[in-house]
């Protein structure tokens, strides 16, 4: 890891650890989903013959936590631009691509930590991992989701200067991506239009990969999930690097 990448990665982590409110607040929504949906819809899901809804829901909530944290990391690019830190960083004799990669890895690490914390919290609700190997495979898919959507958030932020407009754009993107990913409902026997949308949604493969690794149940297959997530992560990281390198201060 080059010096610039390491510095930006470490800076993202320091920002995260200093913000206790951010850490606590980011757990509120996953806990609400686990409590309200996991316990509320559990009997209905079980009565329909689908088994334990919590085992189905937990991987989706974990992916949701990573998605939200990853995408909103991009606002730090706009924040740094507003207060001059980005200018100081970009005039340094280091590659802008390395700076972007460092920011992406730092943001992805923060999102991964959030996802692991949510995973541990699901144990309190009765969720159990399929196997030890599945746990580490699940971590791999969580990393891919974090890198993919952190890159996307930074890529979008690189083309924006309005700090207030960024959260609006993020919510416009995040909510459909999450709700149409199969995180909350099975992907079998969907209407044709909804089935097509879920298949072109990148998070669908991330959620399915986490679910398949942690519970042993998968819709697309772990091989396809890994291929789609890894290829898209590299593509979006490349595009994000190009957009970040063209930032005008």
From CA 178, how far away is CA 63, in angstroms rounded?
Answer: 9
Exposure string for 214-223, b = 16+ CB within 10 A, e = fewer: bbeebbbebe
pLDDT tens digits for range 29-49: 888 888 888 777 777 777 666
- What is the residue-averaged pLDDT of the chain? 83
Extents of the domains making up the chain: 3-245
Which residues, at least 6 apart from 25, have a Cβ–Cβ distance to it below 8 Å? none
Number of H-type helices and E-type strands within the chain: 14, 0
> With contact defined as beta carbons under 8 Å apart, do 108 and 150 qualify?
yes
CA-based Rg of the chain, rounded to a whole angstrom? 18
Which residues, at least 6 apart from 148, have a Cβ–Cβ distance to it below 8 Å? 70, 202, 206, 229, 232, 233, 236
pLDDT tens digits for range 153-186: 888 888 877 777 777 888 888 999 999 999 998 8
- The mean pLDDT value for 99-117 works out to 87
The two tokens of residue 106 are 């730092």
- Better pLDDT: 19 or 238: 238
Helix (H, G, I), strand (E, B) or coil at 117: helix
pLDDT exceeds cutoff 80 at 20: no
pLDDT band at 224 (very low <50, low <70, confident <90, very high): very high
Which residues, at least 6 apart from 221, have a Cβ–Cβ distance to it below 8 Å? 212
Q: What percent of the chain has pLDDT over 70?
A: 81
pLDDT band at 92 (very low <50, low <70, confident <90, very high): low
Is the pTM higher than 0.85? The answer reads yes
The two tokens of residue 69 are 């944290």
């Amino acid at each position: 890891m080059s010096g610039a990448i390491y510095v930006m990665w470490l800076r993202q982590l320091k920002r995260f650890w200093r913000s206790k409110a951010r850490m606590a607040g980011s757990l509120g929504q996953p806990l609400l989903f686990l409590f309200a949906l996991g316990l509320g819809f559990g009997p209905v899901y079980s009565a329909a013959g689908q088994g334990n809804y919590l085992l189905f829901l937990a991987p989706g909530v974990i992916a949701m936590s990573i998605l939200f944290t990853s995408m909103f990391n991009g606002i730090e690019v706009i924040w740094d631009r507003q207060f001059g830190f980005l200018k100081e960083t970009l005039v340094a004799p280091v590659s802008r691509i390395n700076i972007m990669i460092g920011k992406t890895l730092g943001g992805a690490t923060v999102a991964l930590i959030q996802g692991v914390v949510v995973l541990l919290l699901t144990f309190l609700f009765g969720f159990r991992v399929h196997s030890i190997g599945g746990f580490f495979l699940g971590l791999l898919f969580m990393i891919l989701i974090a890198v993919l959507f952190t890159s996307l958030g930074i890529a979008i932020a690189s083309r924006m200067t309005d700090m207030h407009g960024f959260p609006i754009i993020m919510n416009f993107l995040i909510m459909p991506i999450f709700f149409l990913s199969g995180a909350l409902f099975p992907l079998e026997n969907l209407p044709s239009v909804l089935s097509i949308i879920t298949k072109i949604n990148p998070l669908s493969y991330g959620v399915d990969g986490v679910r398949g690794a942690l519970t042993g149940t998968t819709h697309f297959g772990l091989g396809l999930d890994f291929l789609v997530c890894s290829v898209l992560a590299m593509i979006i990281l490349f595009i994000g690097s190009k957009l970040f390198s063209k930032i005008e201060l």
